[in-house]
């Protein structure tokens, strides 16, 4: 049979050693520079870590794609949502005047905002596309106040690494890293196109994260917690998505 020459063997050995130490070193650097996502363990960990690390290095400050006003979808599609809770119905009956957004965690001044409080902060709008992991999408103008401004308002502490956000429905929560949280396009959204954000689209308050798929843009947000330790939340995978088998990072 074929004899493996000494030269070939040495080359192969060196290549294997270089490859193995390269992978170990890359893993060490990824951990050091916080490029491993919270769901970066398990069999799909390597792929998720590669995607998250590469995209994070590439896109820290890049703006979400914006579109001309003429491209706003005439018939946006509101995805199915769980039936409203009793609490939601009560708040809706009151015109959402009692809707509160609590902000706590690693912040200097934990605060509870009403929708009017949020509207008094600097308002910004963007015409961006929302794309569902299923494949469909639409473009709308989203109007609201950047999450970064709210975080500065409450004095977010420097050790903060993730922003966790909760929907009114129990058990529905998400998180994003600080690159996305402080990004000017990440918007606490109160309005859509020409009016208030309609309930089917997440009204009265939705956190738009336009550089990730739709499921990161959580509807009916009532609570935000800043944290330096994402492992303390839920099963420690960063959001409720990995518990259902979906990736925490959805920049794809």
Question: Based on CB atoms, which residue is closest to another protein, 91 or 127?
Answer: 127
Least distance to another protein, CB of residue 154, Å: 27
Q: Does 83 bind another protein (CB under 8 A)?
A: no
**Segment interacting with another protein (CB under 8 A) among 21-29, 55-63, 95-103, 151-159:** 55-63
Q: How far is CA 93 from CA 34, 51, 96, 199, in A?
A: 44, 44, 7, 12
CA 190 to chain centre: 18
Among 6, 69, 80, 122, binds another protein (CB under 8 A): 80
The Cα 210–Cα 139 span in angstroms is: 11
**Segment interacting with another protein (CB under 8 A) among 61-69, 117-125, 147-155, 190-198:** 61-69
Q: Which conformational region is residue 182 in: left (phi greater than 0), alpha (psi within -120 to 50 degrees), or beta?
A: alpha
Of residues 151-210, which lie at the interface with another protein (CB under 8 A)? 210
Backbone angles phi, psi at 114, to 5 degrees: -90, 170
Inter-residue contact 64 to 140 (CB < 8 Å)? no
Least distance to another protein, CB of residue 160, Å: 21
Least distance to another protein, CB of residue 155, Å: 28
Structure tokens at 238: 């960063």
Positive or negative torsion for Cα 189, 190, 191, 197: positive
Among 26, 27, 36, 50, binds another protein (CB under 8 A): 50
Among 106, 212, 227, 239, binds another protein (CB under 8 A): 212
**Segment interacting with another protein (CB under 8 A) among 115-123, 161-169, 194-202, 211-219:** 211-219
Among 27, 34, 59, 199, binds another protein (CB under 8 A): 59
CA 203 to chain centre: 18
Residue-wise over 68-88: b if at least 16 C-beta within 10 A, else e? eeeebeeebeeeeeeeeeeeb
Q: Does 139 bind another protein (CB under 8 A)?
A: yes
**Segment interacting with another protein (CB under 8 A) among 41-49, 108-116, 148-156, 161-169:** 41-49
Q: Does 36 bind another protein (CB under 8 A)?
A: no
The Cα 88–Cα 167 span in angstroms is: 11
The Cα 95–Cα 220 span in angstroms is: 14
* Residues near another protein (CB under 8 A): 2, 5, 8, 44, 46-48, 50-51, 55, 58-59, 62-65, 67, 71, 73, 75-77, 79-80, 129, 131-139, 210-213, 244-247, 251-252
């Amino acid at each position: 049979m074929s004899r493996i020459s000494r030269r070939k063997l040495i080359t192969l050995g060196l290549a294997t050693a270089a490859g193995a130490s390269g992978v170990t070193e890359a893993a060490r650097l990824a951990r050091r520079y916080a490029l491993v996502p919270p769901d970066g363990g398990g069999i799909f960990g390597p792929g998720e870590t590669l995607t998250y690390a590469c995209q994070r290095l590439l896109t820290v400050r890049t703006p979400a794609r914006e579109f001309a006003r003429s491209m706003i979808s005439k018939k946006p599609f509101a995805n199915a949502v769980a039936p409203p809770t009793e609490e939601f119905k009560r708040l809706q009956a009151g015109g959402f005047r009692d809707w509160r957004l609590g902000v706590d965690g690693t912040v200097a001044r934990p605060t509870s905002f009403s929708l009017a409080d949020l509207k008094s902060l600097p308002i910004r709008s963007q015409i961006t596309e929302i794309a569902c992991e299923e494949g469909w999408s639409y473009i709308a103008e989203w109007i609201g106040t950047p999450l970064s401004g709210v975080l500065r308002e409450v004095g977010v502490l420097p050790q903060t690494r993730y922003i966790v956000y909760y929907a009114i429905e129990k058990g529905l929560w998400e998180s994003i890293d600080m690159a996305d949280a402080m990004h000017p396009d990440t918007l606490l959204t109160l309005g859509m196109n020409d009016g208030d954000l309609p309930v089917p689209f997440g009204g009265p308050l939705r956190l738009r994260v336009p550089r990730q798929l739709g499921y990161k843009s959580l509807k009916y947000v009532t609570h935000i917690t800043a944290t330096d330790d994402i492992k303390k939340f839920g099963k420690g995978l960063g959001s409720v998505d990995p518990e259902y088998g979906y990736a925490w990072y959805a920049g794809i």
